[in-house]
Amino acid sequence: MDQTEARREFPPPPHPDPHTEVVELHKQNLLAEIDRMGPNGHRRARAKRRATVALTSAALVGAAVIAVTLPTFGTPPAPTAQPASRASVRLLEQAARTAAAGPVGSPRDTQFTYVSVTGHTTSLSETADGGMKRSREDESYEQWTSVDGSSRTVQRTRGGAATSLQAPGKGSLGSPTYRFLAELPTDPEKLLAVIYRDARLNHGEGSDSTTGPDQQAFVMIGDLLRTSVAPADVSAALYRAAARIPGVVVVPSAVDAAGRRGIAVARTHDGERNEWIFDKGTSRLLGERTVLLKDSAWGKAGTAVHSTAIINSGFTDEPGQEPTPTPDDHDAGPDA
């Protein structure tokens, strides 16, 4: 009996038996997703503009449930985008070196990481006549996150009172603590594997997502760099990991939400360009924005429908305090 006849007589099973560790991975990520998307989850939604994401969070959790029961296997499809451009790799390497030269030492478990961000996002709402109305909403906030995750997170919006949220606990990629980030690999390839493993759960082959793991990995790394405080070597590894994502390019000129001009690395998906903006002199991350590349319900081509600027970050002994700025902190004025 030749191989063709053998395959016809004894076809392979349609699905291999699930590996215990893969099932456990899906389980842990499902629990993390539920915690992140819950009513008291402390991570800010990146944009009400992403209304479809907010409205379908239950569907995403449902997809994760299916993934636990019926995990998918096999080699992911080859990326359709070109490798990251040489210019973007150089810029991200410069950013990694800047990050690696940051403050050394480790905070105490009883301390809090602090992040202050200013920015805006675009939302859509339906009018009485069935049309759609765009509005610009403030996305500025300060956030204090327990270093070891044992204390409640505290968040304060511009002009608002401080709000006490859930303690993040052990932490996850979607709700990171300093201690969680400190345990991530500092080898860029190993770190990127961790990022992609998470990105493929809800955005990989066999999912209903149109985002795709490459774009999701880029967004995840950008969120970690912008909204959390990590050890210097982990931050450097995140930049170097991003340089391995296909489709990353350089945008020569970009402006953050504070009016500071810089140079950006970016990735385009579905008519939108997600940009990380860096200071041209220091290669320090200033902020992030999402720019429309074509006219849509969200606005005209060239519109920044989501824009943020990192104002300050560091460590404090308790919520409500601000860290002492260093001479190299995010204090540059417009056109800097």
pLDDT score of 247 more than 70: yes
Q: How many domains does the chain have?
A: 1
Q: What tokens appear for 278 in the block?
A: 């860096």
232-242 helix and 86-100 helix, angle to the nearest 10 degrees: 180
pTM for the model stands at 0.76
Residue 75 forms part of a structural domain: no
Question: How high is the pLDDT of residue 210?
Answer: 87
Residue 39 forms part of a structural domain: no
Alpha helices, DSSP H, located in the chain? 3-9, 20-37, 51-55, 57-69, 86-100, 178-182, 188-203, 212-227, 232-242
Q: How far is CA 196 from CA 12, 58, 142, 298, in A?
A: 28, 22, 29, 29
How many Å apart are CA 98 and CA 101, to the nearest integer?
5
How many Å apart are CA 93 and CA 244, to the nearest integer?
11
pLDDT 10s digits, 154-184: 999 998 889 999 999 999 999 999 999 999 9
pLDDT 10s digits, 127-153: 888 888 999 999 999 999 999 999 999
Residue 63 forms part of a structural domain: no
pLDDT 10s digits, 30-63: 444 444 433 333 334 344 444 333 333 333 334 3
Question: How high is the pLDDT of residue 5?
Answer: 46
Question: How high is the pLDDT of residue 130?
Answer: 83
pLDDT 10s digits, 180-203: 999 999 999 999 999 999 999 988
Residue 205 forms part of a structural domain: yes
Residue 281 forms part of a structural domain: yes
8 Å CB contact between 36 and 174: yes
pLDDT 10s digits, 95-127: 999 999 987 778 999 999 999 999 999 999 988
Q: Which residues pair with 250 in a beta bridge?
A: 265
Q: Which residues pair with 133 in a beta bridge?
A: 125
By C-alpha distance, which of 203, 287, 205, 216 is closest to 246? 216
Residue 267 forms part of a structural domain: yes
Give 19's DSSP letter.
Answer: P
Rounded to an integer, the average pLDDT of 1-20 is 45
Residue 65 forms part of a structural domain: no
Residue 57 forms part of a structural domain: no
Domain span including residue 273 = 80-316
pLDDT 10s digits, 290-328: 999 999 999 999 999 999 999 999 999 999 999 975 444
User: How confident is residue 65, by pLDDT bands cut at 50, 70 and 90?
Assistant: very low
pLDDT score of 77 more than 50: no
Phi, psi for residue 239 in degrees, rounded to 5: -65, -45
